[in-house]
């Protein structure tokens, strides 16, 4: 039996140094780092090597580190972003990357510690955030290298898979994500907007027939706002509602158009817009009432493109003379001779929280005065800002220059 390969250098027992080994072609499968002497050497240990999370949610990526000497600086970075660095060999702090603007924080950061946990929190996750993330720190004596792998993040959404693809009296529906979700998720199913089932299995409880009418969506418990897009079991002509925008930020005193497209398959006999926030004013809290009849919106709500008994089309809710208390979620509901579109599909996020990428519900938020804030000062002044920052949470942090995604005034249509 061959003896294991030895390092060509004899190492003196220096307390601060740590070592790891592996083989070429499998650099991600290296050994754990070990101290030459004792357990107090310089090293980084990641809590998880792989994480799978839902698009639109948040994630904490963490590690524990030991710098032996006090840490003078630290940062999280992603090698995927190296093309944006001034020097591709010198990692730059993710918190300064424009693609992550307003979405990155270090909740447990403390300066000049010799050891401890470090957490990278990313909010409003997007599919393009799928990448490897690494931690780096510097002490008065060493700078931790970044050749060893970090934590690989995969951002996924849900989709409903329908099989077989051709017409059949018995179709199977499966809720699919691109990577296995952590924990043991409970899957939730919606049929025509109505919550119909919960199960530990990603497969819908019953086989369904190939009808033209019904649509389905799925998600997991605890993240009801991050469900899949609705799909038709057969053809693309089923009952469903798709909102034009998921979040709108507008100025107090102005007007807003909140719109959707819908398909009722059979003629629509009635339709309305409502806000779940107003449910305490309804005769029955489970039966939505038309916003046009709500005294708080009296004289301020109209449906400019309403037509009765249509099968499909756009439908717009217009609210004028906007007030701060109008910040809420707004939903469209319709009834045909055969079905009533449900209102169970949720948003579930407050004004200052992250956005979901699915297109099933809508929300508007009202700003009194948009401001630009200087990081660390808390001061602000009226200024125009970019769409990406406006849609984040209506707390503006920008330089006032136009961006390729449009200025503040483009977004507000004023």
pTM: 0.67
Q: Which single residue is written with the structure tokens 């004028």?
A: 320
CATH topology of domain 157-232: Immunoglobulin-like (2.60.40)
Per-residue tokens: 333: 């509901």
Alpha-carbon distances of 390 from 22, 159, 221, 227, 398, rounded to whole Å: 46, 28, 29, 24, 10
Length of the chain: 414
Q: Is 235 helix (H, G, I), strand (E, B) or coil?
A: coil
Phi-psi sector, 25: left (phi>0), alpha (psi -120 to 50), beta: left
Rounded to 5 degrees, φ, ψ at 390 are -65, -45
Higher confidence at residue 402 or residue 11?
11
List the end-to-end C-alpha distance of the chain, in Å, as a whole number: 79
Check pLDDT > 50 for residue 363. Answer: no
User: Into which CATH architecture does domain 240-367 fall?
Assistant: Sandwich (2.60)
Count H helices and E strands in the chain, helices first. 2, 26
Report d(CA 5, CA 2) in Å as an integer: 9
Question: Do 318 and 301 contact (CB within 8 A), yes or no?
Answer: yes
pLDDT at residue number 23: 86
CB-based contact 326:317 (threshold 8 Å) = no
pLDDT tens-digit map of 193-251 = 888 889 899 988 887 876 677 889 999 988 887 888 888 887 777 888 888 887 788 89
- Is the pLDDT at 413 greater than 80? The verdict is no
Matching CATH topology for 18-155 and 240-367?
yes
Domain boundaries, the chain: 18-155, 157-232, 240-367, 371-412
Query: Is-contact 334 240, C-beta < 8 A?
Result: no
What class does CATH assign to 18-155? mainly beta
The average confidence (pLDDT) of the chain is 76
Per-residue pLDDT tens digits for 378-405: 322 222 233 333 333 444 332 233 333 3
């Amino acid at each position: 039996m061959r003896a294991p390969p030895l390092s060509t250098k004899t190492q003196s027992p220096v307390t601060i140094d740590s070592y790891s080994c592996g083989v070429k072609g499998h650099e991600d499968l290296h050994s754990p780092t070990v101290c030459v002497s004792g357990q107090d050497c310089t090293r980084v240990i990641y809590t998880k090597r792989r994480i799978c999370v839902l698009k639109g949610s948040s994630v904490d990526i963490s590690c524990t580190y030991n710098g032996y000497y006090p840490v003078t600086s630290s940062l999280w970075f992603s090698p995927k972003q190296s093309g944006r660095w001034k020097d591709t060999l010198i990692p730059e702090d993710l918190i300064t990357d424009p693609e992550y603007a307003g979405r990155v924080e270090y909740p447990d950061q403390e300066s000049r510690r010799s050891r401890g946990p470090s957490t990278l929190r990313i909010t409003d996750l997007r599919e393009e955030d799928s990448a490897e993330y690494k931690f780096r720190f510097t002490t008065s004596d060493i700078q931790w290298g970044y050749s060893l792998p970090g934590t690989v993040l995969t951002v996924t959404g849900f989709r409903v898979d329908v099989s077989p693809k051709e017409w059949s009296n018995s179709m199977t529906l499966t809720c699919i994500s691109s990577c296995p979700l952590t924990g043991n998720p409970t899957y939730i199913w919606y049929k025509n907007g109505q919550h119909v089932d919960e199960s530990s299995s990603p497969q819908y409880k019953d086989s369904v027939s190939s009808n033209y009418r019904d649509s389905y969506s799925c998600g997991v418990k605890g993240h009801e706002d991050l469900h899949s897009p609705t799909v038709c079991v057969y053809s693309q002509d089923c009952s469903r509602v798709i909102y034009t925008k998921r979040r709108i930020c507008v100025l107090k005193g102005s007007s807003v158009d909140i719109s959707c497209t819908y398909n009722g398959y059979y003629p629509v006999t009635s339709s309305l817009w409502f806000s779940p926030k107003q449910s305490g004013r309804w005769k029955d809290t489970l039966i939505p009432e038309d916003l046009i009849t709500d005294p708080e919106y009296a004289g301020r709500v109209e449906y400019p493109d309403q037509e009765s008994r249509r099968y499909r089309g756009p439908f717009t809710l217009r609210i004028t003379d906007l007030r701060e208390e109008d910040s809420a979620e707004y939903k469209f509901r319709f009834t045909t001779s055969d079905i009533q579109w449900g209102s169970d599909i949720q948003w579930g996020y407050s004004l200052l929280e992250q956005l979901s990428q699915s297109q099933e519900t809508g929300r508007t938020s009202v700003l009194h005065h948009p401001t630009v804030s200087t990081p660390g000062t808390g001061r602000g002044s009226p200024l125009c800002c970019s769409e990406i920052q406006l849609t984040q949470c209506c707390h503006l942090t920008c330089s006032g220059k136009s961006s390729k995604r449009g200025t503040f005034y483009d977004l507000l249509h004023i």
